[in-house]
Structure 1
């Protein structure tokens, strides 16, 4: 585990973007696992800037997003399809057929989960998986539970998760109750995991995930078992680490 702490958001964003850009520059056909939410926005902005400056191309990259809400049309402003278009995909040369996001409106959600797992398997091992962490320790939308599911699956979102995501909607009632998420088993198969966390409100869960017992009640704690985990923290998120 390699933990890096930064005294500014700009430096953290630059470090995260440099790790991803460096992989693409040395491995143009890299397979990326991508995340959404507020955490990676600044990283995506720097990747877009690097593309516009001619420093990197995404033409050979294949990307798989971690998750998508169930029941939101992909054109809904809070769908993760819309998020990725807004913050990254619409601004780079990644071919649309190589940018994969689960279909939360699929008629058969189980079949969609199986299709998504097949696509990941056909692409080969994910080279780098970008992750954030929820206040309850979820990664992707893998919520705390007595047991975790390895592959892509439909999950009932915890009320804590829905409340945390309400800031993106009009109210907590508008946040979907389910999502499709990549499973923990798939996440842990990535060659490198890049965990990015910001803010004092995440300090407790960062400490628990990185230094506490490994348990499915804190899915992020399973990251301790990964052989190549890189953690980027701002000074506030690192505040409770020993």
Structure 2
């Protein structure tokens, strides 16, 4: 596990964008694992800027997103299908057929999760998996207690995750309580992983991920066992790490 600590969020995001664009430039047909959430918005803006400058193209690439809410269709404004289209896909030359997300509105979510895992397996391994970090240490929607060898499945969201994501839902909107997510085992099958975390509210989770034991209490700690993982933090997210980390 390599840890990069940057002075601020802007520089941490820029470093993450550089890691992604470097991989795509060297491997235009890369299979990317993509993430959503507030932390990732700056990353996608950076990738769009790189595309608009001619530094990178996505026309040969393909992607698999980490997760999708159960019960939300692709056109729902809070679905991750909509998030990805609005914040990234429609701004670049990614072929529409090459972008894959779980089918959250499937009548049988468990079957949808199994189908998604099978689709990933057909294209495996993912060449570069992008991750964020939940305040409770989750990656994807693998909440504390998730088996470290888990595969794509339906999972219930922790109360803290529901609260953290409530800002994205308007008054009167029903907020989902479950999601289809790649499992921790699925995530760790990727050839390379890049995780970005910023802000004081991620400091405890970052410390547990990097310096704590490998345990289901902090799902992200499983990344300690991965052979090629880069953790990108700003100074605030790194505040609880021992001085030797990232030196």
- How far the C-alpha of 1:171 sits from its partner, in A, is 5.7
Structure 1 gaps, min length 5:
none
Displacement, 1:147? 3.2
Unaligned runs of 5+ in 2: 243-247
Structural RMSD (CA): 1.4
Q: Deviations over 1:23-72 (max 9, x none)?
A: 11111110100000011111110110111111111011110000000011
> What secondary structure, in the 3-state scheme, does the structure 1 residue paired with 2:4 have?
strand
1:197 corresponds to which residue? 197
The alpha carbon displacement at 1:174 in A equals: 3.0
Distance 1:146 1:119 in 2: 22
Q: How does 1:116-131 map to 2 (within 5 A)?
A: 116-131=116-131
When the two structures are superposed, what TM-score results if normalisation uses the length of structure 1?
A: 0.96
Partner of 1:104: 104
Partner of 1:194, secondary structure, is strand
Q: Tell me: CA distance 1:147–1:168, structure 2 relative to 1, closer, same or farther (3 Å).
A: same
Map Cα deviations across residues 113-156 of structure 1 (whole Å, 9 max, x no partner): 12111211111201111011111111100011163562110001
Q: Secondary structure of the equivalent of 1:82?
A: helix
TM-score normalised to structure 2 length:
0.94
Residue 15 of structure 2 is aligned to residue 11 of structure 1? no
User: Map of 1:1-242 to 2, 5 A cutoff?
Assistant: 1-145=1-145, 147-148=147-148, 150-170=150-170, 174-242=174-242
Deviates more, 1:159-168 or 1:142-151: 142-151
Q: Does the residue aligned with 1:150 lie in a helix, a strand or coil?
A: coil
Moved over 4 A (4+): none
